[in-house]
Amino acid sequence: MLPRQNRHVLLALAALALCAGAGVAWAATARERSLAVYPQQHVPLRFDHAQHLAAGADCATCHDAARKSQSAKDLNLPGHEECETCHDIEAGRKGKPTDPPSNCNTCHPGFDPTVRKEPAKLNMPAANLKFSHQLHVDKKAECSVCHGEMTEVKLATRNQLPKMATCFKCHDGNVASNTCATCHPTEPSGRIRIAFDSGLLRPMQGNPLGLDHGPRYEFNHAARATSDRLTCMQCHSESYCQTCHDGMQKPLSIHPNDYITLHPVQARAGTPRCESCHRTQSFCAACHERVGVGMDADRTLRARNQKVHPDYAAWVEILGPQHHGIAASRDLGSCISCHREESCMSCHSELSPRRQINPHPAGFAQSCKKLASANDRACLKCHSSDSLAAKGCR
């Protein structure tokens, strides 16, 4: 068996592999960039931005196409045409000495044209953004504002692409629009698209809006959703919320482990708003019946080592502080989590073959005719039409 330390390392590596395989692509810290915005790249090149800038080149020397680019899908990288301004590529291919160096291996490490015709393929997927370089150039925005100072950068990667905090320096709602749809692609419904082949778009730690959708966000999102619902609705629809809040099916992460054992205490204290997700009569009562709690549960399932109610005499026969009628008048919600309307009617309805106990308080007869004339649907639960007519209520 592996030592404990090694087992922990293997478990951690397995967890990382599982996350990668599942496409978990949101960034965890403010230093990272979301794969849902900037997909992973493969740049098999050798290049030194600092060296070229020191030699007198500027951004437009190699990236002049960016001045007219109006889409994030444009690959505004220099080709041989731009490189040949300084590098004699043709002489380099023939093996002639050049200054600066111009053979293929200068930029394509390990590439030998005598062995294969093409160098390793460059893969730089387009950013999942709506962006126009031309618009920003026309607004006199400097390249370094978005891409940072390149004087100490060798090969530029997705780490030199701007983050939302950088964009918000201008997109503050005054200088430029700060609505999400300004830069982020939208669905036909108008909401922000959050699912991409490269990952799932989720706000990360340190984002300017303070919306860190980290691992615990499902437990503390309610306050933000209540105070800033319009921001949430730019990405999420009501149906998205109902996937957890529909009262029929919930993700396992909503409640802690072994919550089925813990929930009676919280339910009685009213700590959680159970009714916001669960229907008492269809969810609670049905579950309680299946586990043997409630009058309608199978007798073989009922627990024999615990009691829900006091002794039968105090609970049913003797009118006092422990009588079920007093308990029901104080907290009917607790009763209906196990008992249905039919449970009460088995004793309190004149239609029942069992004994009939009048549930109404003293003096109720003086007002029952008025109540029945206004709406006798409740009366018909326990009384027949002929009975109401005989009582003068119809």
Residues contacting 213, CB < 8 A, separation 6+: 26, 202, 203, 204
pLDDT at residue 172 greater than cutoff 80: yes
pTM above 0.85, yes or no: no
The lowest-confidence range among 3-17, 104-118, 127-141 is 3-17
φ, ψ at 326 (rounded to 5°): -65, -45
Residue 235, token pair as written in the block:
């990405």
Of 55-59, 119-123, 306-310, where does mean pLDDT reach its minimum?
306-310
Instruction: Decide if pLDDT at 121 tops 80.
Output: yes
Give the burial string for 305-340 (b: 16+ CB within 10 Å, else e): eeeeebeeeebbeeeeeebeeebbeeeeebbbbbbb
| C-alpha Rg value of the chain to the nearest Å | 36
Of residues 68, 86, 87, 84, the one with CA closest to residue 76: 68
Lowest mean pLDDT among 25-39, 119-133, 202-216, 269-283: 25-39
Bond prior to 162 in cis (omega within 30° of 0): no
CA 317 to chain CA centroid, nearest Å:
53
Which helix (H) or strand (E) element contains residue 196?
A: strand 195-196
The pLDDT of 8-37, averaged and rounded, is 50
pLDDT given at position 14:
40
> Mean pLDDT, to the nearest integer, of 288-312?
80
Query: In this predicted structure, which of 64-73, 231-240, 253-262, 335-344 has the lowest mean pLDDT?
Result: 253-262
Lowest-pLDDT range of 206-210, 239-243, 263-267, 269-273: 269-273
The DSSP element (H or E) to which 20 belongs, if any, is helix 4-21
User: Does residue 206 carry a pLDDT above 60?
Assistant: yes
pLDDT of 271 higher than 60: no
Give me the mean pLDDT over the 270-280 stretch: 72
Label residue 23 by pLDDT band (50, 70, 90).
very low
